[in-house]
Amino acid sequence: MVKIDRLVPKEKKGLVVVITGCGKGKTTSALGIAVRACGHNMRVCIIQFMKGDLYAGEWDGVKKMNCQVELISTGKGFCGIQGNPYSHEEHRRNAQEAIQLAHQKIESGQFDIIILDEINNSLKLKLVDLEQVLEIIQQKPTFMHLVLTGRDAHPQVIELADTVSEINEVKHAYRKGIEPQPGIDY
Ligand code: ATP
Ligand code: MG
């Protein structure tokens, strides 16, 4: 097979990417970006909001990739879903810590891509404030890419983004009563 060298972009630009919608594939899409970036020896930091209670394969997966990907899972699971025992105040405290962490990681200058997983729904649930999310987007370093995932992305976040995908649910195995499956769902 003939390998054609890609032209590097004439102008380097740090993008704001939003992956939202009710279908499955938002977090895994962001993880796909991390895998791709890994191939370019780029440094990636993934901060997961509202996660940390239930194991997900990506926690060890990124370590096994032996790449410059740091994943920090913050929080106590999805706020407000059945069976989650923590109060809104506790979830908000965790999300506020995650926002501070995001600032630290961004300001460290050590990352080419920052992924804020589930930040959109954290905003919708009022665990973080709109101003806090807009500030992160507006003050991000020019060349750093920022990826924001989660359902119900705020219109002003969508407005500021360069690339926005809305993943719609056509079907989900969950609706047939199929339990979450490792590798696919977590
Ligand atoms: P994934 O992490 O698989 O990319 P996601 O980030 O798009 O999914 P979330 O809203 O973060 O979806 O939900 C996380 C978990 O819930 C995943 O295990 C996912 O398979 C599952 N899930 C996603 N969409 C639905 C749905 N419509 N109904 C039930 N469960 C869903
Ligand atoms: Mg997700």
Residue boundaries of the structural domains of the chain: 16-167
Indicate if the pLDDT at residue 45 is higher than 90.
Answer: yes
Average pLDDT over residues 137-153: 97
Interval 78-104: pLDDT, tens: 888 878 888 899 999 999 999 999 999
Residue closest via CA to ligand 1's atom 24 equals 24
Find, among 48, 75, 76, the residue nearest to 62 by Cα.
Answer: 48
How far apart are the CA of 53 and the centre of ligand 1, in A? Answer: 15
Query: Are 50 and 121 a contacting pair, CB within 8 Å?
Result: yes
- Tell me what the mean pLDDT of segment 51-62 comes to: 94
Predicted pLDDT at 117: 98
Q: How confident is the model at residue 6 (pLDDT cuts 50, 70, 90)?
A: confident
Residues above pLDDT 90, as percent of the chain: 85
Pocket test for ligand 1, best of 17, 18, 22, 24 (most atoms within 8 A of CB): 24
The residue whose CA is least distant from atom 19 of ligand 1 is: 185
pTM for the structure as a whole? 0.94
The upper half-sphere exposure of residue 163, i.e. CA atoms within 13 Å in the direction of its Cβ, equals: 13
Q: Is the pLDDT of residue 2 over 80?
A: no
Question: Residue 67 above 90 pLDDT?
Answer: yes
pLDDT tier at 76 (50, 70, 90 boundaries)?
confident
| Residues, beta carbon < 5 Å, ion ligand 2 | 26-27
157 contacts 135 by C-beta, under 8 angstroms: no
Phi, psi values for residue 108, rounded to 5°: -65, -25
- For atom 25 of ligand 1, the residue with the nearest CA is 24
Out of 2.40.160.20, 3.30.70.260, 3.40.50.300, 3.40.640.10, which CATH number does the structure's domain 16-167 have? 3.40.50.300
